[in-house]
Amino acid sequence: MTRLWNVAVAKGYVTREQIEEARILRGFSPGRPLGEILVDEGFITREKLAELHEDPDVIPGGRIPEEVRRAQADPANRTDHFVRIRRLGRGGLGEVWLAYDLELSRYVAIKFPKKEHLAKFLDEALILARFDHPGIVPVHEIGPNYIVMAFIDGVPLEEAGLTLEEALEAVQQAARAVHHAHAHHVLHGDLKPGNILLRRDPAAPRGIRVTVVDFGISQGLVELNERLAEGACVGTPAYMAPELLRAGGPAIDHRCDLYSLGATLYTLLAGAPPFGSGQTSEVIARAAAEDPPALARLSPSIPPAVDAIVRKEMSRDPAKRSRDCEEFADSLEKILWADPRAGKRIAGWRIPLAIASAAMIGLALGYLPSAVGRNVPDAAATDVAAAPESRHLSEGRTHEKSGNLAQALEKYTQAIEANPSSGDARFERGVLYCVTGEYEKALEDLLAALRLAPDNMRIRPFLHYAVSKLAELGNRP
C-alpha cells in the first residue's frame, strides 16, 4: 500500500481488507480515487480522510523509486494504479512491461494482449491464477485489458553459469512446478533453458530458486492434439519431443514436457542442445531418428546415473520416460543426495557478471474442456468419515472435473451450508460462477471468501476478473 493507506491502517481509520475491497470495487470506475470509494462504502468518514491528507507522516510519493517518479511524470505511462516503466518484451500476441504498483509499492510485470487476443487471454489467465506454486509466476490482478503478474528478476538457466549440482537442483525445481501445472490439466509446451529463470538465494535449497515462465503456447491435451493433427509446429524444435514431430503419430500427453525437461538438463550439462541448434529441419530429422549422444562421452565428470536419467527422459518412446514430472524430480533429488561429484563445475560454464532478466510473460494457457484447470482429487480418495464440508467440496471438485457444473455448484453450496465460515467453499463456488459467467454471484462469493481468508492470494485475481467483466457489462450489484 502507499504510505497514505499504511498510516490510515496504523491509526485504525480503516482495515487492510476494506482497502482491498475498495480497490476491487474501483474496477467499476477505473481512475476513481480510492478514498472516495472508501467514504462511499462507509469504511471511513470524510473528516478522517481529510485528516489523513494533512497528517505529517503522510508524504506524497515519499518512497517511490526515482525511476518510477520519472515515468509517472508522463500521463501516458499510467494504467489505473500502475506506472509503466519500460517494455520488457513484445511478441505477436502482445507486450510485457515492467511497472510499479503505486498502491502496494512493488514492481510487477503487466501483459497487454493485442485486442484480437484479449478475450482469450483474460479467460485463460483465470487458469494460471489458480496455480499456487512457488515455481510458477503468480497472477496478481486481471484488469479489463491487462494481466498483472509478479516481476521475476532472474537469469535464464543457459546464462547462469551452473555447477552440476546447481543444474540438477534447478531442473528438479522446474519439474515440480511443471508437475503442478499438469495436475491442473495444463501442459507448458515450450520448456527450454530460456524459459526457466534462476535467482541466487542463500535461503533456498542449494542456494537457488527457479521460476518457470512463458506459458505462451501451453494448452490442454485436446487442443494440442487438434493442432498437431492440422500440421502445426508447437514449441522449440531443439527441445520438442519426437511425438510432436511425427505427423499422424499417437496422441501426445504430459510426457512431451518431460522430454523437454530432459533436453533442458542435457543442454545445461553438455553446453549445447542434444541435436544441435542448426537448421530446424535438420534438428527435427535427428530428434525423430536418433538418440542423443551420451553425456559420458562429452564429459567424463558427469556421473553415469545423471547420464542414464537424461537419456531416459529423452527416450523417443514416451512409455519409457518417467511416469510424471514428480517422479523425474525425485530421481534427480536422489542423485543430488547420493553422488559426491555433484558439486563439480561442468562443461566449462562460468558465472557471468550481474545479469538482470525479467520474465517474458506469455499467457495463452489452455486446458482440458472436461475440467476448469484445478487440481481435483477423486471423491473415492476422500475419507468417508471427513466433515460434511470437506466431503461436499471433494464431491464438487470431482463433478467439476467431469464437466458436471450444475452438480458441482450444488455440492459447493452444500459445503457452504455445512460451514458458513468456510473460505474454501466460498472461493470454489465463486470461481465456478466466474467460469459460468455469473459474475455478480461470483463477486459476492469471492468478497466473502476474502473476508474469511484474507491471506489467500489466489482470491484476488478472480475478484478483479469478476469486477472487470461486470464493468464491461455495465452492471454493479
Sequence-ordered alpha helix ranges (H) in 158-254: 164-183, 221-229
- The fold of the 376-477 domain, in CATH, is 1.25.40
- The fold of the 66-373 domain, in CATH, is Transferase(Phosphotransferase); domain 1 (1.10.510)
Q: Are strands 106-113 and 147-150 parallel, antiparallel or unpaired?
A: antiparallel
Distance CA 315, CA 321 (A): 6
Distance CA 7, CA 9 (A): 5
What CA–CA distances, in Å, run from 198 to 151, 156, 271, 331?
A: 13, 6, 17, 21
Q: Write the CB contacts of 389 (distance below 8 Å, at least 6 apart in sequence).
A: 415, 418, 419, 422, 425
- Pair 210, 172: CB distance under 8 Å: no
Grid cell at residue 372: 476448469
CA 393 to chain centre: 24
Residue ranges per structural domain of the chain: 3-54, 66-373, 376-477
Sign of CA dihedral 262, 263, 266, 271: negative
User: Amino acid identity, residue 404?
Assistant: N
Sequence-ordered alpha helix ranges (H) in 137-220: 164-183
Along the 477 residues of the chain, how does pLDDT read in single tens digits?
566 777 788 788 888 878 877 877 776 666 567 888 888 888 888 888 877 766 555 544 456 788 988 998 898 998 888 999 999 887 767 888 999 988 777 899 998 988 887 877 776 677 778 788 999 988 888 888 888 989 988 889 989 888 899 999 999 999 999 999 888 878 888 899 999 999 988 888 888 999 998 765 444 444 544 554 454 555 688 888 888 766 555 567 889 899 999 999 999 998 888 887 666 677 777 877 888 888 877 777 788 889 999 999 999 889 999 999 999 999 999 988 875 555 444 433 332 222 222 222 233 323 322 233 334 444 444 343 347 888 898 898 888 777 788 898 999 999 999 998 888 889 989 888 888 888 889 888 988 888 888 777 778 778 877 887 787 776 554
| Residues annotated as part of the active site | 190
